[in-house]
Structure 1
């Protein structure tokens, strides 16, 4: 077991997708003012920290992941002064603040890229500009495809091409350029000086590309090479990226209390993931296999075993995540038939879209999965709305979709808007207390059947999903944080059960109830009234007798 020495080794972090969290000025878009207003809600929920999705100035080609200024706040969200107050108020409430940093690419509105288009001396060296192939340079420099669909290259007026592994408005930075490295180390220090406690690193496995930008060898000129695919590719997970993070760790090590990093790294194996967590690199990395696991006890057990074992080889805690702003919400993932393997690329959206969801089953499973997640050793991330049991909004009208995936895929991939719909806080009609203005149109429309999902509606119901999360986070520190290594308990194939000291967690992914140990007391259950038997699609925390 990794010794617990720092808060981040056992923290529960709440992900704030700021556009959709709370609107404090009445324009239908979430902002810093709305987040400040809801800090008491987060404190009562019991989280240790918040991670805020990009709040920097951006033309919003990809919802803020196209940054035009890394040292300022997007005016739609507020001001730098408001951000300073938020950080201070969060700290007063006992909540640490993590920001998102986007180092793989900038916005095409960034001053550097503007200079590159103007062909200022050496400006193009900060990005990947290349001449094209073919007789007149009319073909892209290589066969790489954008994560969002289509080719990963755009040609500029003078005939050169620039690389963008995501949207054309997100040109990839050249991390072989010392100026790029120095700039981002300075950006880290800028925010650390403001009191920020750490960063989640977007596309942490990107940044450094293979020398010469060789073809990826897909052999398919129409299929995108997805970042989620985890396969080896010259654009991803190159050895040189680790030198970047050693430099970042040196910056973080200058500060006290300690500043930390969490990596979004899609890599071919847990062994490759562990390389990012060596003692002189990053602190934690999302365990995406846990998110990709179907509702099957045997797969869950395999994922947990491998994640814990491999993280331990570098002295790091595993980091568990069930959902985020890029994937289908947990309730919906669990509401359809489950594969026998880890969910593959694109979260099998195409298959699932043809199957009617059973949201009641999905919610039962999501509640149970939350208890499993929060009982495991290491850190846990909760995506906003998980604590309300929200499902993916799959019936958004095409005309309101804003995710660049929708257009770049030729209108075949509905993208990620469905998990980004603004939160319901109160009232019986939209915008459900999300905004100061009751008449405002939220930036994505909210469904009409959400009155029972609001935080206000769930607050007074002791059996609501919101109160299940509150109870779990309250009990977690006492029951699980210092309870020792994980040991599996022999059960039937549809059940996974483990103990850590006297504490036990049982989850039933099967279709029939199972007997619970007679010598253990139920502390918390995903299904109210659980006693001597564990119902299907449920989980329970137990304390064994002395």
Structure 2
């Protein structure tokens, strides 16, 4: 498997730094805390740590409002501390990925402060400024993803500036060559330090319509959805010119050897695969988020797997994501029993998996009382239920009260549930042990890392498929229902099951019984 790149062989583990481990008692996770837990991450069996934003920021959107792209926020540590963390990770065999947030900066970034200082400032065109409409209102009908108009009036210069998110997050003008050069230097700064790649925030939003045309109304909008869903995002996302930017970023990374460019892209599969580039010169992996909102039944997941595999260009490497910092946790979406099935699914599908911290112990969404809400998405649109605090609660390391080993101070968000790493460690029936077995099996299996995926079939509540490479065939069966079910299989042996007592058992040619919410991986005796 050596000819595959590390990011094709490996598994990525996302750390939300505010919530992973606090080392100084202020209730907020930091770089020293992450570094102290890297042995745990390496022992889990993953290959890379992706760290959500740690740049200097006023924290209007918890780091996604960047005030300095080439430094570390004191809340998290120092640049030297980051270098030490990266060195520690590399010694443990872990790659380090950073979030790159190029669509918008903080309104307190020096670039924006210069831009808004006067209409003739050299950096004026680094952001999107427009005159009012004839009635004095915003230039067009574009809406913020955080609610309300995406245009903010600036009294000083008498124009509006565009912000796809908070008003504290003005969008950069990526049609300006100076912006492109400045952002390229940001990438090179971190690459020169030894960073192994980037996850690019909202990659599909970087370019907007040059004519600033109104977005058309969305005929499918339903009351209660986020405000910006009232319009189709025809002129504010997935513009044709964005692919030139992706190619440029990829070219920069290619100068540094085996680095990886991952794009955050919430689009349909036909749109998504275009971000690989015409000949594979785009993003290495446009994130495939289908599992985050999938209807959890065998037929739907089977169709999803087949359609994605067919849609991928020959040169494209697939990937799957089960959880992240913007979506409810998998154990809350599908329940504790099916979260185990989902783990087997994620780590046996073709392509690179991404895990979200805490999913390996079955963490659920935390309860956030109204007076504990931190997320601006929820504070600006109460009742829309798009708040992201529940999936960002602190990692639960042990059973100690009140903070589960995360901090000696008051945590920035409340601890979610009683489960913890310490309680599950050594318990062969625990979620943590399941993940460790899965990751170990995957690492040693050419069929799982580089094999084809074939015969994807749904029968009732059972999803089955095969992973094949050379003369090895693995048969995966997932019971996505609450009742026992039979499955037709070749003869073989159970390598792994969510029912631990079945590991090592024989599977017979023909009908085999699966328990409710059971998932199995069977090595087939004589694959045909």
Alpha-carbon displacement from aligned partner over 1:351-396 (angstroms, at most 9, x marks no partner)? xxxxxxxxxxx01111101101110111000000100101111x31
Partner residue of 2:439? 473
| C-alpha distance in structure 1 between counterparts of 2:81 and 2:360, whole Å | 27
Change beyond 3 A, Cα 1:310–1:369: same
Partner residue of 1:132? 132
Partner residue of 1:296? 297
Partner residue of 1:342? none
Q: Is the 8 A contact 1:164 1:170 kept in 2?
A: yes
| C-alpha distance in structure 1 between counterparts of 2:231 and 2:130, whole Å | 26
Alpha-carbon displacement from aligned partner over 1:48-69 (angstroms, at most 9, x marks no partner)? 1011000000001111000000
| C-alpha distance in structure 2 between counterparts of 1:464 and 1:61, whole Å | 38
Q: Is the 8 A contact 1:520 1:545 kept in 2?
A: yes
Change beyond 3 A, Cα 1:160–1:230: closer
Paired residues in the alignment total 505
Shift of 1:212: 1.4
Partner residue of 1:499? 466
Q: Is the 8 A contact 1:14 1:384 kept in 2?
A: yes
Are 1:398 and 2:396 an aligned pair? Answer: no
Shift of 1:230: 11
| C-alpha distance in structure 2 between counterparts of 1:499 and 1:458, whole Å | 30
**Matched ranges for 1:381-460 at <5 A:** 381-393=354-366, 395-410=367-382, 412-413=384-385, 415-435=387-407, 437=408, 440-447=409-416, 449-450=417-418, 453-460=419-426
Q: Which runs of 5+ in 1 are unaligned?
A: 335-361
| C-alpha distance in structure 2 between counterparts of 1:218 and 1:146, whole Å | 15
| C-alpha distance in structure 1 between counterparts of 2:49 and 2:404, whole Å | 23
Alpha-carbon displacement from aligned partner over 1:475-504 (angstroms, at most 9, x marks no partner)? 112234356211126562321111112111
Given the two structures, how large is their TM-score scaled by the length of structure 1? 0.89
**Matched ranges for 1:333-412 at <5 A:** 333-334=333-334, 362-393=335-366, 395-410=367-382, 412=384
**Equivalent residue for 2:144, pick from 143, 146, 166:** 146
| C-alpha distance in structure 2 between counterparts of 1:490 and 1:214, whole Å | 45
**Matched ranges for 1:476-487 at <5 A:** 476-479=442-445, 480-482=447-449, 484-487=451-454
Change beyond 3 A, Cα 1:412–1:290: closer
Q: Is the 8 A contact 2:298 2:459 kept in 1?
A: no
Q: Is the 8 A contact 1:230 1:266 kept in 2?
A: no
Are 1:539 and 2:510 an aligned pair? Answer: no
Partner residue of 1:263? 263
Alpha-carbon displacement from aligned partner over 1:13-41 (angstroms, at most 9, x marks no partner)? 00000000011112110000000000100
Partner residue of 1:341? none
**Aligned Cα RMSD in Å?**
2.1
Change beyond 3 A, Cα 1:29–1:469: same
Shift of 1:512: 2.7
| C-alpha distance in structure 1 between counterparts of 2:351 and 2:459, whole Å | 26
Partner residue of 2:508? none
Shift of 1:231: 5.6
| C-alpha distance in structure 1 between counterparts of 2:202 and 2:190, whole Å | 19
> SS of 2:98's equivalent?
strand
| C-alpha distance in structure 1 between counterparts of 2:37 and 2:516, whole Å | 35
Alpha-carbon displacement from aligned partner over 1:435-471 (angstroms, at most 9, x marks no partner)? 2x2xx11001114x41xx1111111211111111111
Partner residue of 1:277? 276
| C-alpha distance in structure 1 between counterparts of 2:324 and 2:271, whole Å | 22
Shift of 1:175: 0.4
| C-alpha distance in structure 2 between counterparts of 1:142 and 1:468, whole Å | 52
Alpha-carbon displacement from aligned partner over 1:127-176 (angstroms, at most 9, x marks no partner)? 111111143x2x11111111111111111113311111111111011001
Shift of 1:412: 4.0
Alpha-carbon displacement from aligned partner over 1:406-445 (angstroms, at most 9, x marks no partner)? 222145435000000111101331211112x2xx110011
Shift of 1:222: 10
> SS of 1:305's equivalent?
helix
Shift of 1:270: 1.5
Partner residue of 2:236? 235
